[in-house]
Amino acid sequence: MTASTLTIKDLHVEIEGKEIVKGFNLEISGGEIHAIMGPNGTGKSTLASAIMGHPSYEITKGSVSLDGEDVLEMEVDERARAGMFLAMQYPSEVTGVTTSDFLRTAINAHREEGDEIPLMKFIKKMDKNMETLDMNEQFSTRYLNEGFSGGEKKRNEILQLLMLEPKIAILDEIDSGLDIDALKVVSNGINNMRGESFGCLIITHYQRLLNYITPDHVHVMMQGRIVKSGDASLAQRLEAEGYDWIKEELGIEDERVGQEA
């Protein structure tokens, strides 16, 4: 597999007539790990959902493309099949559908009809990835996310990442709600994906995740756009000093969206 590139240009996103993302630019290529940090309510999840095609968000301006293909023209499932993945901050629960059935259907959706993944191969892959993530095998037969704890849902998102092997993944607060051990395990899983054919955008509030997954680039998001970028050391400085110095540097009074006027 060769490296893919996701290009986001001057993206503007509205919800219910209110602009949340305001001119977001970023290029993510295979082999790169980007981290986005930023205070609450600055548009990070909105950005992630909009890129994946969430129906409630309206893109009013800008473009998103994957290896030159217009992503915004694609349905949500087409984006996934093109190689995109979003680990959600709040994954849905689906009753009556086991995690394993769901994943098998998802994997087969990525394959041609008549070329479904053989059951044994699927089971092996599932076992291996669940072991990597230190997940009890009962999770495969439990209904998708139903009654899962916060941390278990996050692990399940990463399990899906490992099973689907996307080209570009966006991970929205995959570390929230994880205990220290789980954080290591999940980071380990993500690190296993690292390589030329995998690009990743990690949204997080905490430097500690980035201790395990060293990012190539760190971006700070405020008021719906990137206001500062740097390397891994930027995350360390944010952890130590908070966001005030950036706000001062840029003359921002309130970092949340809709507060700037």
Ligand X SMILES: Nc1ncnc2c1ncn2[C@@H]1O[C@H](COP(=O)(O)OP(=O)(O)OP(=O)(O)O)[C@@H](O)[C@H]1O
- Kindly state whether residue 86 participates in binding ligand X, applying the rule CB under 6 A: no
Query: Which lies closer to ligand X via its Cβ, residue 139 or residue 243?
Result: 243
What residues does 21 pair with on adjacent strands? 13
Nearest-CB residue for Mg ion = 45
Residue range at the interface with Mg ion (CB under 5 A); choices 60-68, 89-97, 145-153, 183-191: 89-97
Residue with tokens 């490992």: 162
Between CA 83 and CA 43 the distance in angstroms is 23
Helices (H), the chain: 44-52, 76-81, 99-109, 119-132, 150-164, 180-193, 207-212, 232-241, 244-250
Whole-number minimum distance, CB 141 to another protein, in Å?
Answer: 11
Contact set for another protein, span 51-80 (CB under 8 A): 52-56, 75-77, 79-80
Cβ proximity to another protein: between 153 and 217 the closer is 153
* Contact call for residue 43 and ligand X (CB under 6 A): yes
Residue 257 touching ligand X (CB under 6 A): yes
Least distance to another protein, CB of residue 79, Å: 8
Nearest approach, Cβ of 111 to ligand X (angstroms)?
A: 33
**Does residue 45 belong to the site contacting Mg ion (CB under 5 A)?**
yes
In this structure, which amino acid lies at residue 222? Answer: M
Q: Shortest gap between Cβ of 33 and Mg ion (angstroms)?
A: 19
Q: Which residues pair with 226 in a beta bridge?
A: 221
State yes or no: residue 49 binds Mg ion (CB under 5 A): no
46 versus 100: smaller Cβ distance to ligand X: 46
| Residue 1 near residue 10 (C-beta atoms within 8 A) | no
Please, what is the Cα angle at 89 between 30 and 142, to 5 degrees? Answer: 100
Lay out the site mask for another protein across 149-178 (x = CB under 8 A, - = otherwise): -----------x---x--------------
- Does 92 engage in binding with another protein (CB under 8 A)? yes
Starting at the edge strand found earlier in the chain, the sheet holding 69-70 runs 18-29, 5-15, 58-66, 69-70
- For another protein, the closer of residues 110 and 208 by Cβ is 110
User: Which residue shows structure tokens 């769901």?
Assistant: 102
Interatomic CA distance for residues 130 and 220, integer angstroms:
33
Q: Is 42 in the site for ligand X (CB under 6 A)?
A: yes
Q: Which of 3, 7, 9, 15 binds ligand X (CB under 6 A)?
A: 15
Task: Tell me how far apart the alpha carbons of residues 188 and 213 are, in angstroms, rounded to a whole number.
Answer: 8
Tokens of 149: 């704890």
- Maximum CA pair distance of the chain? 59
- Smallest gap from Cβ 89 to Mg ion, in A, equals 5
**Residues forming the site for Mg ion (CB under 5 A):** 44-45, 89
**Residues forming the site for ligand X (CB under 6 A):** 15-16, 20, 38, 40-46, 56, 89, 257
